[in-house]
A and B are shown apart, each in its own frame.
Chain A
Amino acid sequence: MRRIERWIFSAGTPERLAAIRIGLCSALALRLTRTVYLSIAGQPHSLYRPLSFMHLLHSMPPWGVVLPIQVVGGVAAVLAALGWRARHTLPLAWACGLLLGGMTTSLGKVVHNDVLLLLCMVPLLPAPVSDAWSLDARAGRTKPGDPMRYGWPVQTALIVVAGSYFFSGFAKLVNSGPAWALGSNMRWVLYISSDSRPSPDHWSLFIADRAWLAHLVAASILLLELGFPIVLFWKRARPAFVAGAILFHLGTWLTLGLDYWAQAATVAIVLIDWPALVARARGRSNATKGAAEARPRTQPPDLRPEPRAAR
């Protein structure tokens, strides 16, 4: 337990935290541009199926309430991404996103599309997110200092990402056992999805018609989900898991029509060490520039004849 605590509360850099702030707030801003919230505003009361904190509301909020929340949330998310008064704009954007997300999950089915994004933003709410790469830092409104302040929000977000996939796999094992991958479950999932569409879905049928492929896909999903906590122990495995998650959500979109881009983006934003990537790219670029500058000195002398002067 001490080891876990030491890992969570290890030192970090303001740049890594800022990269996560920029990424997650940008993703939230994009999510808040969707028209679905206004479409479900003022829904007939008998169709309202509240979940969690939405029980506090008697029915779906009306259009006149949803529109200002969406506008304020969207603007706050953009400002938080830019790092303008981020200690206030980020929690405001998150609260608006939470309420609007709560609306979409109160239609009779638990909606998970934005859950990981919202949960990964939780550790950022009280964190010094704008000490780097922000308008706040440019304006001198921040006091960068102790590296201990920047590590725990990032490490907590990492645990949330790893946990979300692990618990998805865990729920499959608990509710269905190995039959989830070893039985024909994946074939039926894909056939049901294809049959529910106006025209058959060829991606789904391609997999469902081949039992071995359906087993392989199911086993790969289970392996990816249950193996995700590896990213906490082995930093080098992170790019592979990011690629796996993107591929997984792309496949889900192609076969089941489920749009989980926000979750895939959250995985990439949290798992990739963007400042290190930028530094490496700059280093490579500087090295290339340096090599280009050094080249004339090392190149052999040009022995070609001088071009003739124009007559």
Chain B
Amino acid sequence: MEQAPAVPRNHPPAWARAFVAVFLTAFVACGLGAGELWPLTRWHLFSAVRQPIQVGWRAVTVDAAGRETPLPVGQLPLAYRGAPLLVGRFDKLTPAEQASLCDSLIAGVRSLGRNVLALRIYRVTKDESIRVGARAAPETVALRYTCAHGTVQAAGP
């Protein structure tokens, strides 16, 4: 520890000691993984090792002609910024939450003036270790869910 700049004249007030003790204890406890009490956090920043095989989820919209278009996340309002993350947890949502999420996404895309009849959610597998130029090798996709008219239909295992 560095030297104190001057000889203390008085003791700091008791409330200051208590305040610092509580704050630092909470900061250290959360930092050691006790909990995520934002802004007190566990500091999990890219802490999990990434693997070359990436399994993700992708939502596409389906128009009246049956044409598929990727969910235009970049054109949707910022409020939808977390949508891909939520689609990625679709499996873990309750049926009611799944239906509600689908409805919100469909409504969001319709607000852009697009014709949307249904939403399809695909499971996407990509191997980052196989490179084709500057990109990963083409991914494999499998349909998992179809949302239409307020219902969610599971497809495949």
| A49 to B4 Cα, complex, angstroms | 45
- CB atoms of A148 and B10 under 8 A apart: yes
- CB atoms of A167 and B107 under 8 A apart: no
How many residues of A are in contact with the other chain, CB < 8 A?
A: 80
Query: Could you give, for residues 86-111 of chain A, a 1 whenever the CB lies within 8 Å of some chain B CB and a 0 otherwise?
Result: 00000000000010011001011110
- CB atoms of A179 and B16 under 8 A apart: no
Interface membership of B49, Cβ < 8 A: yes
| A209 to B21 Cα, complex, angstroms | 47
Q: Residues of B contacting A36 with CB < 8 Å?
A: 78
Within 8 A of B (CB), among A1-31: 3-13
Within 8 A of A (CB), among B26-70: 27-28, 31-33, 36-52, 54
Interface membership of A298, Cβ < 8 A: no
Interface membership of B81, Cβ < 8 A: yes
Number of A-B contacts defined by CB within 8 Å: 195
Which of A107, A118, A175, A233 meets B81, CB within 8 Å? A107
Known: A147-B9, A235-B2. A192 touches B43 (CB 8 A): no
Q: Residues of B contacting A152 with CB < 8 Å?
A: 12, 16, 20
Q: Which of B96-104, B113-121, B149-157 contacts A (4 or more CB under 8 A)?
A: B96-104
Q: Residues of B contacting A9 with CB < 8 Å?
A: 8, 11-12, 16-17, 20
Within 8 A of B (CB), among A184-237: 184-185, 188-189, 191-192, 194-195, 200, 205, 232-235
Query: Could you give, for residues 156-196 of chain A, a 1 whenever the CB lies within 8 Å of some chain B CB and a 0 otherwise?
Result: 10011001101110111011100110011100110110110
Q: Output the residue of B39, B40, B131 with the most chain A CB within 10 A.
A: B39
Min CB–CB distance B44 → chain A (angstroms): 5
Min CB–CB distance A32 → chain B (angstroms): 15
- CB atoms of A47 and B44 under 8 A apart: no
Known: A189-B50, A205-B134. A105 touches B81 (CB 8 A): no
- CB atoms of B82 and A188 under 8 A apart: no
Min CB–CB distance B119 → chain A (angstroms): 13
How many residues of B are in contact with the other chain, CB < 8 A?
A: 65
| A51 to B51 Cα, complex, angstroms | 27
- CB atoms of A112 and B43 under 8 A apart: yes
| A180 to B20 Cα, complex, angstroms | 33
- CB atoms of A107 and B44 under 8 A apart: no
Min CB–CB distance B48 → chain A (angstroms): 5
| A40 to B80 Cα, complex, angstroms | 8
Interface membership of A262, Cβ < 8 A: no
Interface membership of B85, Cβ < 8 A: yes
Q: Residues of B contacting A118 with CB < 8 Å?
A: 39
Min CB–CB distance B116 → chain A (angstroms): 15
Which of B50, B104, B135 meets A46, CB within 8 Å? B104
| A202 to B136 Cα, complex, angstroms | 14
The closest CB in chain A to the CB of B30 belongs to: A167
Which of B43, B46, B54, B129 meets A164, CB within 8 Å? B43
| A205 to B131 Cα, complex, angstroms | 11
Interface membership of A144, Cβ < 8 A: no
Q: Residues of A contacting B136 with CB < 8 Å?
A: 191, 195
- CB atoms of A167 and B32 under 8 A apart: yes
Query: Could you give, for residues 43-84 of chain A, a 1 whenever the CB lies within 8 Å of some chain B CB and a 0 otherwise?
Result: 111110101111000001000000000000000000000000
- CB atoms of A119 and B39 under 8 A apart: yes
Interface membership of B126, Cβ < 8 A: yes
Q: Residues of A contacting B49 with CB < 8 Å?
A: 175-176, 179-180, 183, 185
The closest CB in chain A to the CB of B11 belongs to: A148
Q: Residues of B contacting A246 with CB < 8 Å?
A: none
Q: Residues of B contacting A12 with CB < 8 Å?
A: 5
Q: A11-B7, A12-B5 are in contact. List 14 more A-B contacts (CB 8 A).
A: A7-B2, A9-B16, A45-B100, A109-B82, A112-B43, A148-B8, A174-B33, A175-B44, A176-B48, A183-B49, A184-B52, A191-B128, A191-B136, A232-B1
Please list 9 pairs of residues, one from A and one from B, whose beta carbons are closer than 8 Å in the complex, sorted by A's number.
Answer: A107-B85, A109-B85, A112-B43, A149-B12, A152-B12, A160-B27, A170-B32, A171-B33, A176-B49
